[in-house]
């Protein structure tokens, strides 16, 4: 398929996505606004109503990956105690962004393309167009000590961290995972850690058939990869030396097109499924098998791909109609929507093409990338999981030849 044909297809999809989002806005804005009105900020264990800090506030930041084809950049924003963002700099990664074939709003078609590791204070970014990964040391709102390493495969699109281990998922070709040690000097390849996923993609993959995310289970004993069109969730047990088992345990997904991965407080795994905008809950077994704890829960929205946790709440990005869904778990781990319409915040004309999400470490704020609009929205998370918009950043790379993807918050 020619590049011109691909772009024409993308343009048509973007128009559909934008139109759906605006219609959804008109239909539900009033309902959600009423549900959110007067919502008090959440109370956090060990925190007082007045945040501790001028010193902690100095370290608050949100990072956005531009994913530009000519040269990938990280945009840094200072986060105020009220959640508002102020531009604080732009840093070249030393690599190029990428664009999967026929991706409708999200060039990398993945979750976890930009990751902050609080243990090492490193920010890890994929350079899909260069087959490399960049690490920066984070010092407040400054990025220093840039290091670039080969990703071990084609089109790196997701990174997972556990302890001093990082694994990169390469989406191109057969697909693969490659391990690295996290050191003071950046990432160092872990010999003998490369594992193929056995896919059949080109070097630049089709967005619907590329893997969606790589993630460690909370204890770091398993490495999990979702494969979209193959409808599998593949689990590699991790040996004590940090290397994966030679073969993954291949599990059939409970729902169609598994994409994003997150975990609840008890370590149960939640997987977002794009086909019918559902979330399934699993227990990960020691041999890499999966036990379904809760069957796919639909949210009534269009194309759920991204999913992030904030305490007992979870937030999903629905790129098909540009909405964000809220979920909560009860003490038994049962997942439910935070409201019956499946939308946690009113959509808007400036928030089209919802893609990646990030939750701050204090779990007070959620930041949402809008790929078509080239904006990032910030929301205060209420005590009942409702979202109140506190900031919108404009002027970020919108989806065209490529577009921003990847967001992390400190």
Predicted confidence (pLDDT) per residue in 173-225, tens digit: 999 999 999 998 899 999 999 999 999 999 999 999 999 999 999 999 999 99
Q: Could you give the CA distance from residue 398 to residue 186 in angstroms, rounded to a whole number?
A: 30
Please state which architecture CATH assigns to domain 3-41+64-409. Answer: 7 Propeller (2.130)
pLDDT at 110: 98
Calculated CA dihedral for residues 79, 361, 207, 296, nearest 10 degrees: -130
pLDDT at 57: 54
> Which of these, 107, 217, 232, lies nearest to 157 by C-alpha position?
107
Res. 26: pLDDT tops 70: no
Across the range 278-295, mean pLDDT stands at: 97
Q: Could you give the CA distance from residue 92 to residue 176 in angstroms, rounded to a whole number?
A: 26
pLDDT digits (tens, 9 = 90+) for 120-170: 999 999 999 999 999 999 999 999 999 999 999 999 999 999 999 999 999
Q: How confident is the model at residue 346 (pLDDT cuts 50, 70, 90)?
A: confident
Q: How confident is the model at residue 48 (pLDDT cuts 50, 70, 90)?
A: very low
Are the C-beta atoms of 352 and 373 separated by less than 8 Å? yes
Letter string b/e over residues 238-269, b meaning 16 or more CB atoms within 10 A of that residue's CB: beeebbbbeebbebebbbebbbbbbbbeeebb
Q: Could you give the CA distance from residue 397 to residue 409 in angstroms, rounded to a whole number?
A: 19
> Which of these, 339, 367, 348, 399, lies nearest to 24 by C-alpha position?
348
Q: Could you give the CA distance from residue 359 to residue 143 in angstroms, rounded to a whole number?
A: 20
pLDDT digits (tens, 9 = 90+) for 65-111: 999 999 999 999 999 999 999 999 999 999 999 999 999 999 999 99
Are the C-beta atoms of 70 and 94 separated by less than 8 Å? no
> Percent of the chain scored above 70 by pLDDT?
86
Res. 359: pLDDT tops 70: yes
Q: Could you give the CA distance from residue 98 to residue 67 in angstroms, rounded to a whole number?
A: 7
pLDDT at 58: 65
Q: How far is CA 93 from CA 79, 213, 375, 388, 408, in A?
A: 22, 21, 21, 33, 15
Across the range 368-395, mean pLDDT stands at: 96
Are the C-beta atoms of 128 and 155 separated by less than 8 Å? yes
């Amino acid at each position: 398929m020619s590049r011109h044909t691909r772009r024409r297809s993308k343009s048509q999809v973007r128009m559909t996505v934008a139109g759906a989002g605006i219609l959804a806005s008109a239909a539900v804005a009033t309902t959600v606004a009423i549900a959110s009105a007067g919502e008090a900020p959440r109370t956090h264990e060990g925190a007082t109503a007045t945040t501790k800090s001028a010193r902690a506030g100095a370290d608050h930041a949100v990072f956005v990956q531009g994913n530009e084809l000519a040269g990938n950049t990280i945009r840094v924003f200072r986060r105020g105690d009220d959640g508002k963002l102020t531009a604080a700099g732009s840093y070249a990664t030393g690599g190029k962004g990428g664009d999967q074939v026929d991706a409708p709003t999200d060039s990398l078609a993945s979750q976890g393309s930009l990751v902050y590791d609080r243990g090492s204070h490193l920010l890890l970014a994929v350079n899909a167009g260069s087959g490399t990964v960049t690490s920066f040391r984070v010092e407040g709102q400054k990025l220093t000590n840039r290091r670039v390493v080969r990703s071990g495969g084609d089109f790196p699109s997701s990174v997972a961290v556990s302890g001093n281990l990082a694994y990169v998922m390469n989406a191109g070709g057969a697909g693969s995972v490659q391990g690295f040690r996290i050191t003071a000097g950046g990432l160092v390849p872990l010999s003998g850690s490369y594992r193929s996923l056995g896919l059949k993609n080109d070097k630049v993959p089709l967005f619907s058939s590329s893997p969606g995310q790589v993630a460690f289970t909370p204890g770091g004993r398993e490495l999990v990869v979702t494969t979209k069109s193959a409808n599998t969730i593949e689990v590699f047990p991790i040996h004590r030396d940090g290397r994966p088992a030679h073969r993954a345990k291949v599990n059939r997904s409970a729902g169609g097109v598994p994409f994003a991965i997150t975990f609840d407080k008890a370590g149960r795994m939640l997987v977002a499924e794009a086909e019918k905008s559902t979330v399934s809950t699993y227990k990960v077994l020691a041999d890499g098998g999966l036990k379904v704890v809760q069957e796919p829960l639909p949210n009534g929205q269009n194309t759920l791909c991204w999913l992030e946790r904030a305490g007992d709440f979870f937030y999903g990005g629905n790129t098909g109609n540009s909405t964000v869904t809220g979920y909560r778990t009860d003490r038994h781990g049962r997942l439910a929507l935070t409201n019956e319409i499946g939308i946690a915040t009113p959509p808007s004309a400036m928030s089209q093409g919802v893609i990646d999400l990030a939750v701050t470490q204090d779990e007070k704020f959620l930041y949402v990338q809008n790929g078509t609009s080239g904006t990032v929205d910030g929301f205060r998370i209420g005590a009942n999981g409702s979202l109140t918009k506190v900031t919108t950043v404009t002027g970020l790379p919108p989806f065209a030849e490529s577009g921003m993807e990847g967001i992390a918050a400190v």
